Amino acid sequence: MKNDRIGLVNDHDDMKNHCSSSVCTGRCLSIIFFCIGVVLMLSMGLALYFSLHKDIMTVAPVPAPTVVPPPPCKDPCVITLVESIPENLTYPAGSPSHPSTYSALIDLMEMATSQIEIASFYWTLSGSDIEYHDNSSWQGESVLSTLMAAGRFRKLKIKIAQNKPDNGYYNNTRDLARYAGAEVRTLDFKSLMGNGILHTKMWLIDRKHFYVGSANLDWRSFTQVKEMGAVIRNCPCMARDMGKLFDVYWDLGLPGAKVPSQWPTSYNTDINNNNTMEINFNSTNVAATTYISSSPPPFCPAGRTVDVDAIVDIIQKAEEFVYVAVMDYFPTTQFTKPRVYWPVIDDAFRRAAFNRRVKVHLLISYWQHTWEDMKIYLSSLNDLWFKSYPELDITVKIFEVPAFTDSQKKIPYGRVNHNKYMVTDKTAYIGTSNWSADYFIDTGGIGLVINQQRTPALSKEGDVRQQLEDVFLRDWNSKYAWDFNTFNFTSVDRHTEL
């Protein structure tokens, strides 16, 4: 740079000496005036051009897309909460209770006239997955035999989208395909997403009725594991939308399937968290606004709300309380190495409590397969509770399903609260996923979202939000819910006296 500047100085001196002669003075002045003239002409020309074409200097505003809400649903939709209560798990007389998952699925199959579509994680309904026979497997075996009869004798079309089976499990779908004509497709998430599973639990009947909830197709899900779900009947407006999610699974179950960069427009939906559908459930005169969310994001065609976005949106809109009942809770990934911090839901809880003074209560499960480090993350939330400024209420309780008999103690993967739902002062959410990062990043799951205003005009039968709140408070105040600070995470015989 220094040498460049010396060169410029020398050139300037040469020009000055040359122009000092009387012969060159006129030439130098002519060159200078010519250059000034050229610059003036260019400036005037550019000014004239831009005055005539000033529109090119302004970016026209892009109009916001027009959102057309779906028309209100005119179908006579009936919604019912359904539960699995493990054997010997009892509540005081008069406590909230709902039809069993078992009876709900039997009823749905009996209502079917043309087809039954099922999306599932795994199939162990017959009790053959353990070395001995347990009498409590009868409900699962009944579900299996009823489904078998629907295909074999009633000639109903059965379509099953399942997760790629673990070789260690006996899979009932082989018998359903062989004896009931079921068409079975398997989703290989390792190939599709690099990780994850199909964790969805969905029954879809004639594209008119459906079940969604926490219950796997496992005999334990009816008699040994606590489950929460919802059945919606006579509601084609929502069942058709659920059918679009089943169609996603069905396509991805084809051999060699790949997740498309863009889904066919027929899979798009206009029902989402910004564009909900109004439904008068159970003949009430107060409409609920409803939509279905899905995960992982690549499985969501245009218009579909991503499941974790639905959860965060529900938390953000709560004004009084957020109640969550879920088996596992981690603000990280669980099944990837190395594990990754993912505080999306955790931050939403903290913001709700800190910024808006919303009460946050978490009812988390404990059983023999609980990961030891979960209590660290729960402690981080629970320790925010204090009654000074700002007044925060984030409280964690641990729900444990006791094994009352030696037979119950022997059953593998039983005796756990498997719920996956949330209820706020405005919204009921029933999902199929545990609350850790993997379930929202690369695992298949769905959520049913129902927003309902609390109003005297809303009957108890139609107020599913209030019903779910009552179930949460029943469990929260039960003898099976333990204060987090006093809970012994290592004791195994704590409930023998109950």
Joined tokens for residue 288: 């609920």
Is residue 49 a part of any domain in this protein? no
Number of domains comprising the chain = 1
Instruction: Output 304 or 490, whichever has higher pLDDT.
Output: 304
Is residue 7 a part of any domain in this protein? no
- Residue-wise DSSP of 45-94: HHHHHHHHSGGGGSPPPPPPPP--PPPPP-S--EEEEEEE--TT----TT
Q: Which of 397, 420, 442, 475 is catalytic?
A: 420
pLDDT tens digits for 95-118? Answer: 999 999 999 999 999 999 999 999
Q: Which of 188, 270, 393, 425 is catalytic?
A: 425
pLDDT band at residue 10 under the 50/70/90 scheme: very low
Q: Which of 418, 438, 442, 475 is catalytic?
A: 418
Joined tokens for residue 286: 């107060």
Q: Which of 129, 206, 307, 309 is catalytic?
A: 206
pTM: 0.86
Is residue 17 a part of any domain in this protein? no
Is residue 37 a part of any domain in this protein? no
The secondary structure of residue 120, as a DSSP letter, is E
- 425 part of the active site: yes
Is residue 39 a part of any domain in this protein? no
- 155 part of the active site: no
Q: Which of 199, 209, 244, 426 is catalytic?
A: 199
As a whole number of angstroms, the distance between CA 370 and CA 367 comes to: 6
Q: Is the pLDDT of residue 170 over 60?
A: yes
Characterize the bridge pairing of strands 157-163 and 183-187: parallel
pLDDT the model gives residue 6? 32
pLDDT the model gives residue 276? 98
Provide the CATH number for the domain around residue 169: 3.30.870.10
Is residue 170 a part of any domain in this protein? yes
Domain that holds residue 104: 78-486
pLDDT band at residue 37 under the 50/70/90 scheme: low
State the helix-helix crossing angle for 173-180 and 138-152, rounded to 10 degrees: 30
- 218 part of the active site: no
**The CA-based dihedral angle spanning residues 419, 421, 423, 426, taken in that order and rounded to the nearest 10 degrees:** -160
Residue ranges of the alpha helices (H) in 253-343?
307-317
Give the mean model confidence (pLDDT) for residues 262-271.
Answer: 97
Q: Which of 98, 129, 159, 201 is catalytic?
A: 201
pLDDT tens digits for 458-498? Answer: 888 889 999 999 999 999 999 999 999 999 988 444 333 32
Is residue 3 a part of any domain in this protein? no
- 206 part of the active site: yes
- 18 part of the active site: no
State the helix-helix crossing angle for 374-382 and 344-356, rounded to 10 degrees: 10
8 A C-beta contact, residue 245 and residue 440: no
Is residue 87 a part of any domain in this protein? yes
